């Protein structure tokens, strides 16, 4: 996907053989940003969905190329932790995680006493799709900020000393 901002009448165009459902996503983006107190820039925005010669339909995106051998191994290791290794043994597809908008901070990032990963870790090398972003709890969204900024996700576990 490529995005280009230029001077001109403020508008957003989605190109790349997008059907009506994909084209309507621009209104969802505006609504989500508005709910967060943000706005699109007053510029002409063109979003190019690639590959341009393949039609895009439905409310999902094509997944960002196939996993390399190293990426497939990383994804498989992560999925083995949560007990979701495919029958073939090695994860070949980019992960696509789509938590419900009622998902809590714990469901997204996890940690805690048993230190299991939430939704963010199994989305490694893939997509964490937050549909209806404006409906997510603000604390849950804020919990994703640090991993997205640093590129690291740390699962912490508290240990209690017993005497």
Sequential DSSP letters for 15-43 = ESSB-HHHHTHHHHHHHHHHHTT----SS
| Same domain as 131, residue 73 | yes
Q: Given CA atoms 134, 151, 5, 56 in this order, what sign does their dihedral have?
A: negative
Residue 122 lies inside a defined structural domain of this protein = yes
pTM, full prediction: 0.57
| Distances 128 to 17, 52, 87 between C-alpha atoms, Å | 24, 23, 23
| Same domain as 111, residue 76 | yes
| Same domain as 127, residue 77 | yes
Residue 158 lies inside a defined structural domain of this protein = no
Mean pLDDT of 43-66: 72
> What are the tokens at 153?
């996700």
Parent domain of 126: 69-150
| Same domain as 137, residue 73 | yes
Kindly tell me if the per-residue pLDDT of 163 is higher than 60: no
Mean pLDDT of 67-80: 91
Kindly tell me if the per-residue pLDDT of 60 is higher than 60: no
- What pLDDT score was predicted for residue 22? 73
Mean pLDDT of the chain: 80
- Residue 73 confidence class, pLDDT cut points 50, 70, 90: very high
| Same domain as 138, residue 105 | yes
Tens-place pLDDT, residues 35-46 = 777 788 889 988
Tens-place pLDDT, residues 90-145 = 988 889 899 988 888 888 887 656 667 788 889 988 888 888 888 888 888 888 88
> What are the tokens at 60?
């999902």
Residue 106 lies inside a defined structural domain of this protein = yes
| Same domain as 87, residue 19 | no
| Same domain as 102, residue 32 | no
Total count of domains within the chain: 2
Residue 57 lies inside a defined structural domain of this protein = no
Name the phi and psi angles at 106, rounded to 5.
-60, -40
């Amino acid at each position: 996907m490529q995005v280009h901002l230029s001077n001109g009448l403020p508008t957003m165009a989605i190109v790349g053989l997008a059907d009506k459902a994909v084209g309507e996503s621009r209104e969802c983006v505006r609504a989500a940003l508005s709910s967060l107190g943000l706005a699109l820039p007053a510029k002409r925005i063109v979003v190019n969905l690639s590959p341009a010669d393949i039609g895009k339909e439905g409310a999902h995106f094509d997944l960002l190329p196939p996993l390399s051998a190293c990426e497939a191994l990383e994804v498989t290791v992560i999925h083995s932790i949560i007990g979701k290794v495919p029958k073939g043994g090695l994860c070949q597809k980019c992960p696509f995680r789509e938590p419900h908008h009622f998902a809590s901070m714990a469901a997204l990032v996890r940690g805690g006493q048993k230190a299991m990963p939430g939704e963010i870790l199994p989305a490694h090398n893939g997509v964490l799709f937050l549909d209806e972003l404006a409906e997510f709890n603000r604390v849950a969204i804020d919990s994703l900020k640090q991993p997205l900024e640093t590129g690291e996700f740390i699962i912490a576990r508290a240990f209690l000393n017993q005497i």
